[in-house]
Amino acid sequence: MLASYGFRPMGMTRLCAFLLLATATVVAMTAAAVRVSAATVKDVRIGVHADKTRVVCDLDEAAAYRIEWRSENDVWLSVEATAESRTIPGRGSVLSEVRLRPGGNNNAKTYLRLRVKRPVEVREQVLTNPHRIVIDLHPTG
C-alpha cells in the first residue's frame, strides 16, 4: 500500500544509520545553542599608594586575561568574564579612569581600559580566594 505513494522500504541498516545521523544532528544543534558559563567581574577597585596605583578586578571565579598597551596612555586588560559597562573615575597622579566594556561572543569578554596620565611600568598578579586580577601601575618618570 505504501509503495503506491512512492514509499520504498529501506533496509534495517539504512534505517539505523538514518536515525543515528538524525540524533547526532539534534545533539550537535542543542550543544551549539547552550551558552558556556563565563566568570563575572564583581567589582573594580582603585587604590593609591606611595609608590603605585593599584587596580583590582574582583571575579566570582578564575578567568583568563591578557594585558597590552594600545597607546602610550592606554593599558588594556581583556578578561574572559562578563561585566556591566561603566566608567570609574581615576584617583591620584597616575590614573585618569578605568572603563569597562563588554564584548566578544555573547559579551563573555570584558575590556578594561586603564587611561594613565603619565608613563608607568605595569606589574600584574593573580590572587585566589577570592579570585582577583591585580594591576600595579608604577610611575617611571
Mean pLDDT over each residue of the chain, to the nearest integer: 83
Q: Are 96 and 113 in contact (CB under 8 A)?
A: no
Q: Give the burial class of 110: count Cβ atoms within 10 A of its Cβ; 0-12 exposed, 13-18 middle, 19 or more buried.
A: buried
Q: Please indicate whether residue 102 or residue 28 has the higher confidence score (pLDDT).
A: 102
pLDDT in tens, 6-42: 555 555 565 444 544 445 454 444 434 444 568 999 9
Q: Say how far apart CA 49 and CA 82 lie, in whole Å.
A: 28
Q: Give the burial class of 70: count Cβ atoms within 10 A of its Cβ; 0-12 exposed, 13-18 middle, 19 or more buried.
A: exposed
Q: Say how far apart CA 135 and CA 124 lie, in whole Å.
A: 5
Q: Say how far apart CA 125 and CA 136 lie, in whole Å.
A: 9
For the segment 119-135, the average pLDDT, to the nearest whole number, is: 96
Q: Say how far apart CA 98 and CA 75 lie, in whole Å.
A: 10
pLDDT in tens, 81-94: 999 999 999 999 99
pLDDT in tens, 37-72: 689 999 999 999 999 999 999 999 999 999 999 998
Q: Say how far apart CA 79 and CA 123 lie, in whole Å.
A: 16
Q: What pLDDT score was predicted for residue 28?
A: 44
Q: What pLDDT score was predicted for residue 16?
A: 42
